[in-house]
Amino acid sequence: MIWTFEQRRRRAGLLFVAPGLLLLAAILGFPIVDSLLLSLQRVQLTGDQVSHSWVGLANFERLATDAVFWKAAFNTAYFAVMEVLLVSLISLGIALLLRHPMGNSSLFRIMLIVPWAIAPVANAVLWKWILNANYGILNGILVSLGVIDFNHVWLGSPFSALNFLLIVDVWKSVPFVALLMLAGLQRVPQSLYRAAYMDGAGPFQSFMHVTLPSMRGILAIAIILQTIWSLRVFDLVFVLTRGGPADATVLMNFLAYRVTFNFLDLGYGSAIANVIFALTLLIAALYVWLLWPREPGGRR
Partner 1 sequence: MFDSLNRRNLLKYGAATGVGAAMAGFWTRPVRAADAALNVFCPLPPDPAPPGAAEFAKEAFAKWQADHAASVTYEKLGWSQLHDRMATAFASGSAPWDIIYNCGWVPEFQSFLAPYADQLPKDVVDDLPPSSFKTVTIDAKRYGAVFTLSLLTLFYNREHLEKVGLKEAPKDWAEFKAYAKELTGGGRYGLVFNYGDPAGIGGTASYWMVFLQQAGGKMYGEDRMPVFNNAAGVDALQMMVDLMAWTDPGSISYANINDATNVLLSGRASMMMNWPFMWNTANDPNQSQIVGKVSSAVLPAGPAGTASIDGTDAWTVAKASKNQDKARELIEFYLSPEVQKRQVLDTGWLPIRLSVLADPEVQAKAPNAAVVLEQAKHPYDSFVTPDYNEVTVAVGTQVQQALQGQKTAAQAMADAHDAVVAIVKRRG
Partner 2 sequence: MSYARLQHGGPLRRLIVLIGLVIFVIWSAAPIVWLVLTSVLQQRALIQQPPDLALHSFTLANFTTVLASAALLGHGMVNSLIVASFSTSVALGVGAPAAYALARLPVPRANGIAFLILATQMLPGIAIAIPLFIVISRLGLIDNVLSLGVVYLSFNLPIVIWILRGFFLGIPFGIEKAAAVDGAGIFKTFWYIILPISWPPLCASAVFAFIEAWNEFFFALILTRQHAQTVPLVIAQFAGQYQTVFGQLMAAAAISVAPVIAVAVLFRNQIIRGFADGMMKG
Tally of CB atoms within 10 A around 213: 13
- Give the interface size with partner 2 as a residue count (CB under 8 A): 115
Nearer to partner 2 by Cβ, of 159 and 204: the residue is 204
Question: For residue 149, what is the DSSP state?
Answer: S
Q: Which does 79 bind (CB under 5 to 8 A by kind): partner 2, partner 1, none?
A: none
Q: How many residues are listed for the chain in this entry? A: 300
Instruction: Kindly state whether residue 213 participates in binding partner 2, applying the rule CB under 8 A.
Output: no
Which of these, 250, 234, 278, lies nearest to 39 by C-alpha position?
278
Sign, CA torsion 208/211/217/220: negative
Under rule CB under 8 A, which residues in 217-236 are in contact with partner 2?
A: 217-218, 220-221, 224-225, 228, 231-232, 234-235
Instruction: Kindly state whether residue 207 participates in binding partner 2, applying the rule CB under 8 A.
Output: no
Q: Which does 137 bind (CB under 5 to 8 A by kind): partner 2, partner 1, none?
A: partner 2
Question: For residue 259, what is the DSSP state?
Answer: I
Spatial separation of the C-alpha atoms in residues 65 and 215, rounded to whole Å: 43
Under rule CB under 8 A, which residues in 115-154 are in contact with partner 2?
A: 115-123, 125-127, 129-130, 134-135, 137, 139-140, 143-144, 151
Smallest distance, partner 1 to C-beta of residue 3, A = 23
Q: Which range touches partner 2 (CB under 8 A), out of 58-66, 69-77, 94-102, 158-166?
A: 94-102
Q: Which does 236 bind (CB under 5 to 8 A by kind): partner 2, partner 1, none?
A: none
Write down the H helix ranges in 118-209: 120-130, 137-144, 158-187, 190-198, 203-206
Instruction: Kindly state whether residue 46 participates in binding partner 2, applying the rule CB under 8 A.
Output: no
* Residue numbers at the binding site for partner 1 (CB under 8 A): 43, 45-50, 128, 132-135, 151, 153-157, 161, 239-247, 258, 260-266
CA distances from 254 to 59, 111, 112, 272 (A): 17, 30, 28, 10
Instruction: Kindly state whether residue 285 participates in binding partner 2, applying the rule CB under 8 A.
Output: yes
Instruction: Kindly state whether residue 242 participates in binding partner 2, applying the rule CB under 8 A.
Output: no
Which residues, 6 or more positions from 125, have their beta carbon under 8 angstroms from its beta carbon?
239
